[in-house]
């Protein structure tokens, strides 16, 4: 895809000096791919944290429901 992007001259000079990419397009593609991957990981982490919390709450609820059953018919040593 072709698009027009307006970049600051000082940023372009620094990027060309520091980058291993031979073209500015290559650098921008790499940066954009990294940015997308970072946001995807952040979104996945947030979803995993939420699922873990809901699973933990369910586990505590089940443990409370069966607490009295766990103690039934056990000897009082």
Question: How does pLDDT run across 18-52, given as a tens digit for each residue?
Answer: 998 889 999 999 999 999 999 999 999 999 999 99
pTM of full prediction above 0.75: no
Helix count and strand count (H, E) for the chain: 2, 0
Q: State how far the Cα of 5 lies from the Cα of 3, in Å rounded to an integer.
A: 6
What integer pLDDT is reported at residue 32 of this predicted model? 94
Q: State how far the Cα of 43 lies from the Cα of 71, in Å rounded to an integer.
A: 42
């Amino acid at each position: 895809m072709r698009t027009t992007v307006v970049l600051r001259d000082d940023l372009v000079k620094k990027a060309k000096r520091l980058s291993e990419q031979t073209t500015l397009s290559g650098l921008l593609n790499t940066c954009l791919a990294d940015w997308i991957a970072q946001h995807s990981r952040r979104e996945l982490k947030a979803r995993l944290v939420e699922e873990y919390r809901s699973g933990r709450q369910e586990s505590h609820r089940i443990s409370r429901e069966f607490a009295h059953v766990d103690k039934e018919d056990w000897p009082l040593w």
